[in-house]
Amino acid sequence: MAIIAILGTMDTKGDEHGYVAQLIRARGHQTLVIDVGTDQPPRLEPAISREEVAQIGGLDLAGLMARRDRGECVAAMGQAAAVVLAQLQAAGKIDGVISLGGGGGTSICTTAMRALPLGFPKVMVSTLASGNTAQYVGVKDIVMMPAIVDVAGLNRISRTILGRAAGAICGMVETEIPAGEDRPIIVASMFGNTTQCVQMAKSTLEEAGFEVLVFHATGTGGRAMESLVEAGMTAGVLDITTTEWADELVGGVLGAGHTRLDAAGKTATPAIVTPGCLDMVNFGARDSVPAKFDGRVFYQHNPQVTLMRTNAAECAELGRILAEKVNAYRGPVSVLLPLRAISVISAPGQPFYLPEADAALFGAIRQHLRPGIPLVEVDCEINAPEFAAACAQALLGHLAK
C-alpha cells in the first residue's frame, strides 16, 4: 500500500481532487491531501493545510493573502510546496503525487513536482497540457495529462479523465522497477553531426565498465544532462557536443541556458569537453529565421530545421566562453580539438567549411584556457575514430585518478 500526495488548490478544485482521492483509496492506497489554495476556505479537508505549507516554506501567508496579488500568491506557494514535497519524499512519507489544475494550479504544483527526483511518480492533469509544457516540466519526468474540459466540476468528460489519471498514478506506484546492473554512469552530449564520435567513444567506455547515458543537445537535453551531473549521479562527463552554446549566444532555438557546462565544474566531476557543432545555430523552418540574419550561410537539415553557420566573430566569443567555463572546473578535465572539422558539415568540401571561423574558435580556446588544463589537438575530423578514441582515453585517464 502506497501513500499518494493529492496536491492542489482545494478552495477552487477541492471536489475534483476529492474524487481522485476516492478512486485512489478504492485501489487500496492511502492519500495525503495538501492544500495550496490562497483564496477561499478549502472544499476538501487537507492533511497538510495551506498555513502549514506556508510555515514550512517560510511564507507570511496572511500578508500574502492580504495583498491579493494572484501572481505573487502562485509563485510563493509553488516554492513553498516544493519544500514540503521534497521533505515528505526524503522522509519516505509519500510514494507519488498527483494534481489537477488550470493555469495557477499547474504553475504551483509543477513547481513543487520539479523538486522531486527522477523516477518519483508525478502526474499533473492540466488545462495547459496540450501546448508547450517546457516551462512546467523542465527537465523532470512529470506526466502532464490534458484535462480536455476545464477542471470545474464533475461531468461525463472530467470523470473519465480524472479516473484515468487516478489509475495512472496508482499504476506508477504499484509498478516495481527491476533492478539492473549498477555500473558507474557517464553522461554524453550528442547531435546528429557528432553521432559517430559519441557512439565510438561510448563503446570504449562501456567496455571499461561504465554505463553511458546519451543526451541530445537540443536545449532540453543539455539541461537534463546538467541536472543529472549536479545531482551527483555521474562518474564522468563526455561533453563532445557543446553546440547549445552557439544557440544561446547567437539567438537560436536550442539554447540550454547560461549555466550549460557549469555542473561538472561545481561537482568536480571528471570531464572532457570539445567544441562539437559550435559551427551551427538552429532555427525552425527557413521562413522562421529572423531577417537580421539575411546573407548568412544556411543549411536545410530538414523541412523543420534550418542551420546557420557561425561566423569568425561568433566563434571567437564561443571559444572564450568555453574556455572560461572549463577554467572554473575543480575536477580533472581536458579540452580536445578536432582540427579538421567540428561537425560533419564543416569538413572540407562541406556546406559549413569555413576555416577562418574554426581558426578563431581554436585560437580563442588556446588564448583563454588557463595553464594546467590539458589541451589535446588532434589533426582529424570530429567523427574520426582517432578523435573518438582520444576523447574516451582522456576521460578514462581522469576517472582512473
CA separation for the pair 364, 123 (Å, rounded)? 46
Same domain membership, residue 371 and residue 237: yes
Q: Which residues of 322-355 are buried (b: 16+ CB within 10 A; e: fewer)?
A: bbebbeebebbbbbbbbebbbbbbbbeeeebbbe
Same domain membership, residue 200 and residue 331: yes
Note whether residue 179 is domain-resident: no
pLDDT for the residue 60: 83
Same domain membership, residue 170 and residue 62: yes
Average pLDDT, stretch 326-339? Answer: 98
Tell me which of 107, 139, 174 is where a domain ends. 174
Tell me which of 118, 140, 174 is where a domain ends. 174
CA distances from 247 to 147, 260, 309 (A): 34, 11, 11
CA atoms within 13 A on the CB side of 311: 6
CA atoms within 13 A on the CB side of 289: 23
Domain span including residue 125: 3-174
Length of the chain: 401
Taking residue 38's Cβ as centre, other Cβ atoms within 10 Å add up to: 24
pLDDT tens-digit map of 239-272: 999 999 999 999 999 999 999 999 999 999 999 9
Same domain membership, residue 137 and residue 270: no
pLDDT for the residue 139: 87
Note whether residue 33 is domain-resident: yes
Who wins on pLDDT, 233 or 82? 82
Q: What is the CATH number of the domain that holds 305?
A: 3.40.50.12030
Same domain membership, residue 258 and residue 166: no
Same domain membership, residue 53 and residue 156: yes
Note whether residue 66 is domain-resident: yes
- For residue 66, pLDDT over 90 is answered with no
Question: CA end-to-end span of the chain, whole Å?
Answer: 45
Note whether residue 89 is domain-resident: yes
Tell me which of 121, 140, 174 is where a domain ends. 174
pLDDT tens-digit map of 112-153: 999 999 899 999 999 999 888 989 998 899 999 999 999 999
Same domain membership, residue 147 and residue 57: yes
Note whether residue 81 is domain-resident: yes
For residue 286 the three cell numbers come to 527557413
| Residue whose C-alpha is closest to residue 314's, from 333, 329, 296 | 296
Name the DSSP letter for residue 252. -
390 and 339 in contact (C-beta within 8 Å)? no
pLDDT tens-digit map of 185-208: 999 999 999 999 999 999 999 999
Note whether residue 100 is domain-resident: yes
Same domain membership, residue 332 and residue 249: yes
Dihedral pair phi/psi, residue 121, rounded to 5°: -60, 130
CA distances from 269 to 1, 77, 186, 237, 266 (A): 39, 34, 10, 7, 8
Note whether residue 364 is domain-resident: yes
Same domain membership, residue 194 and residue 164: no
Q: What is the CATH number of the domain that holds 90?
A: 3.40.50.12020
Name the DSSP letter for residue 190. E
* Total structural domains within the chain: 2
Note whether residue 366 is domain-resident: yes
Same domain membership, residue 205 and residue 139: no
Same domain membership, residue 291 and residue 227: yes
Same domain membership, residue 344 and residue 282: yes
CA separation for the pair 6, 43 (Å, rounded)? 13
Phi-psi region of 175 (alpha: psi -120 to 50; beta: other; left: phi over 0): beta
% the chain with pLDDT above 70: 100
